[in-house]
Amino acid sequence: MSTLGEQLRAQRERKGITLEQAAADTRIREKFLTALEGGDYASLPGAVYTRGFLRNYAEYLDLETDELVVLFQQERGGAPPEPTPKRTFKPYRPVVHQSLIFRPVVFVPVLIIAFVGSFLGYMYYQFTTFATLPKLEITDPSTDGLAASSDLLVHGITVPGARVTVTLIPGPDFVDIHSGDDGSFDARVVLSPGSNHVLVEVQSAGKTNKVIRTILYQPTTPAIGPAPQLVVDQPAAGSTLTNVSVLVSGHVDRSVSRLLINNIAVPVSSDGTFQSRYYMPAGPQSFRVTAQTSSGGTVEETRNVVVVYTAAVVNVFVRGGDTWLLATVDGADVAGSGRIYKDGETAAFIGKEVRIKAGNAAAAQVIYNGELIAGLGKQGEVVERVFLAQ
């Protein structure tokens, strides 16, 4: 028959839960969970506390708590649970009215009750403080919307002296500031034509809160002059793209001074060719390619495609710092991962199950099957995430 620790460890591993995750979910110290699974009862606190830990951990793992408590008593030496003191009842006596006299027999219990009440109040305050995310309110822009200018001022309110980061996706802007004494903060970013995701994160007392605003910037463009030549080579109109990003490429003539794809500027090489890659969610997608001349001449081409995912496609973009990264695809570690990825590096992983472990989770920006995940976790946090084929 397997031991208590073996049953706990086997059930946790069947569920794919790490000790770090179990400790965070149950609020039981990781060293106590390690001692329970290893049968190291000498490293555990008193039997009453250990039984409480064991019941919580067993319920978390969907195991039979009473059977495991009995097994714990047997492995620990068969010591029975602490006996519950019996109550004794004294016969009623006639009520005698006396003056209020503070004797030790009355004063000491009052002090004990006051101490216990103060301690419980302190513990409640600590718990609520730990569980509550720091305040974060973005007052400008107050909602998703349109911008008439590329210059965007982000204004908000949080707790005083908190670290605030503002990241523009896509875009190079990354602002790292601290809120003022009144909790207010301002940050200025430059929008790109098209859709911009403005990610605002606040870190205070080891906790992180975040808000995302989506701002669409559409600059006005003149429509004067002869139309230039535009040829879109990829993607083919009406094509179906499976488990890949969408590459839009083609070429223009020398008169073109500006090229836009879905209202976002794309560079054109000296020989007139262009290409840009897009990570889109599953379903029909449309790409409008616009070529403009300096005199205002404009021509457009549209490509409609269908994006399909039969596997987990995970694209990782390292932003805002370096991070150690290990990728495991379908149970095998990916060659070349398990190292420090520098700020600006990218990587792509495809499989039925993709497991990403990042040492600096805030710097690991992920697009999973075309859906943006702003970051895997907090600055300096070690996080492991599993992505499955949909």
Q: What is the residue-wise DSSP string for 49-111?
A: HHHHHHHHHHHHTT--HHHHHHHHHHHHTSPPPPPPPPP--PPP-----------HHHHHHHH
The pLDDT value given to residue 262 = 96
The pLDDT value given to residue 90 = 40
Same domain, yes or no: 322 and 258: no
pTM for this model (two decimals)? 0.42
Same domain, yes or no: 117 and 186: no
Q: Which residues of the chain have pLDDT under 50?
A: 79-100
Same domain, yes or no: 126 and 176: no
Place of tokens 């000498």: 42
> What's the total number of domains in the chain?
5
293-310 pLDDT per residue, tens = 988 899 999 999 999 999
For residue 92, is it within any domain?
Answer: no
Same domain, yes or no: 186 and 166: yes
The pLDDT value given to residue 388 = 96
For residue 81, is it within any domain?
Answer: no
218-264 pLDDT per residue, tens = 887 555 668 899 999 999 999 999 999 999 999 999 999 999 999 99
308 and 293 Cβ atoms separated by less than 8 Å:
no
Range of the domain at 14: 4-76
The pLDDT value given to residue 364 = 92
Residue 348 CA, chain-centre distance (Å), reads 19
Same domain, yes or no: 152 and 209: yes
For residue 93, is it within any domain?
Answer: no
**CATH (domain of 296):** 2.60.40.10
Q: Measured between alpha carbons, how far is 356 from 138 in angstroms, rounded to an integer?
A: 31
Question: In 84-112, which positions are buried (b, 16+ CB within 10 angstroms) versus exposed (e)?
Answer: eeeeeeeeeeeeeeeeeeeeeeeeeeeee
For residue 84, is it within any domain?
Answer: no
For residue 83, is it within any domain?
Answer: no
The pLDDT value given to residue 93 = 41
Same domain, yes or no: 125 and 151: no
For residue 316, is it within any domain?
Answer: yes
